[in-house]
Amino acid sequence: MGKAYPDIFDSILGSIREPVVVLDPDLKVIKANPSFYDTFNVNPKQTEGVLIYDLGNRQWDIPKLKELLEEILPQNTKLNDFEVEHHFESIGRKIMHLNARRIYTEENHTQLILLAIEDVTDREYYKRNLEDIVEKRTAELRIAREEALNSKHVAENALEKIKCLKDQLEAERAYLQEEIKLEFNHENIIGRSNEIKYVFYKVEQIAAADTNVLVLGETGTGKELVARAIHGLSSSKDRALVKMNCAALPSNLIESELFGHEKGAFTNAYSRRLGRFEIANGTTLFLDEIGELPLDLQPKLLQVIETGEFERLGSSETIKVDVRIIAATNRNLEAEVRKGTFREDLWYRLNIFPITMPPLRERREDIPLLVDYFIDKISKRLGKSINLVPVNVMNTLRNYHWPGNIRELENVLERAVINSSGPKLHLVDELKKPNKDLTNTNRTLAHVEREYILRVLEQTQWKVSGNNSASEILGLERSTLRARMRKLDIHKP
């Protein structure tokens, strides 16, 4: 039979994509198409003339296939989509739709049986397991959604933190731009006198600690430079030193500058603004002229010092910050406490580690160094070349009492450089009359330090050195303390 119709079989069967087998009346294989051989891993040479049930070491001995070919097919001309599920040793589990049809001769005798096989394994698997697949996929989607929500929350939190940091950095940038416009006396404290060396010692002693510092001294002595020196040696030296002068603003604006405000908190508050405490979070805040802080704001400052918490104007939200405070004043705060213009508890909080910046008249040996520094600085700025200071001019500068201290010295030298036509400095100011009021102020500051040392000595029963002694509490060497006692005329009763 196969020999009689080889061309027909090859052309018809070869063009069919699904596996097709042609059987004779005895159910032996006459011919199969390439798709059948490929799909079921059958060798063509071991197929033709073989009973279909014996194919592949009897892997095709399938009860449902026998039912189709021997029971159902003889009663019908064809049968569509007869489903068979079977496990083949060579290719594994298969789900097949079988279509069988008999072909008759002219004498109406059966000559051929066409068996078409559709492999629906994957389709049936997904169809039968659709519910499980949907449930699994739904669970995956639910987990993915939860992860997305969590990621969204994390992203929102991160964005909020970034926004806060951005606001702080923008505020700090704006603050620094304002600071750049200012010109300080000089970048470092200049001097070699014992008085200024004592200041250096105190600065190095406290810089690494996180302790609040109170800088005392007359106007123009360089209290801000002490604050900058402390900050420059601290762990937050890479951040800006944030500054606020409590005497430079009206009392009704100081609170907004210190603690910030929300939009609409008061007239002309058109947007939210960060205060100096938020800008200084993680670094140092220098409060100059702290003695000028209004009495009604002192409790709020005390709260920040004690708890690190405050609220912006117009907001009930508590903000927490970590700020080191360096305060400065030319006032006798202890006297202000007695007068009731400065809170005693705030005074104790600020006066943990006082540093007194000596007036210029107490460090006269530093005057030549300062003169050289300022002349060089001013000359470069004005495009002049002053390199000679006459002896009589230097003596005049050294002998003057300098009520305005270093700030006054710089102003005097600037006028001198402007009026000097050659390389020699010509002094135009008459530096003669002493300022009696400033002398009284000097005694007041010395009195503050004297009382403080006396109080510690009385507390330690005049024990100068050793454990729990005055020198240990004050953080001074024994020889340094004794020198200060001699200078301040402190004697044991």
pLDDT in tens, 357-399: 999 999 999 999 999 999 999 999 999 888 889 999 999 999 9
Q: Which residues pair with 311 in a beta bridge?
A: 318
Task: Write out pLDDT tens, residues 234-255.
Answer: 998 888 899 999 888 887 788 8
Q: For 100-135, how does the pLDDT look when each residue is reduced to its tens digit (9 = 90+)? A: 887 765 555 657 888 888 888 777 666 666 666 667
Q: Residue 169 corresponds to which tokens in the numbers above? A: 């950095």
Helix (H, G, I), strand (E, B) or coil at 165: helix
Structure tokens of 171? 């505020």
Whether residue 181 has pLDDT greater than 70: no
Q: What percent of the chain has pLDDT over 70?
A: 83
pLDDT of 14 above 80:
no
pLDDT at res. 141: 82
Give how far Cα 101 sits from Cα of 21, 77, 251, 258, 313, Å: 11, 6, 105, 96, 92
3-state secondary structure of 75: helix
- Closest Cα partner for 242 from 312, 330, 349, 168? 168
| CA 216 – CA 288 distance, rounded (Å) | 10
Alpha helices in 33-104 (DSSP H): 34-40, 55-58, 63-66
Cβ atoms of 259 and 300 closer than 8 Å: yes
pLDDT at 199 over 80: yes
Q: CA 316, 319, 321: angle at the middle one, nearest 5?
A: 160
Rounded Cα distance between 217 and 331, Å, is 8
pLDDT: is 231 or 78 the higher one? 231
CA distance 334 to 347: 8
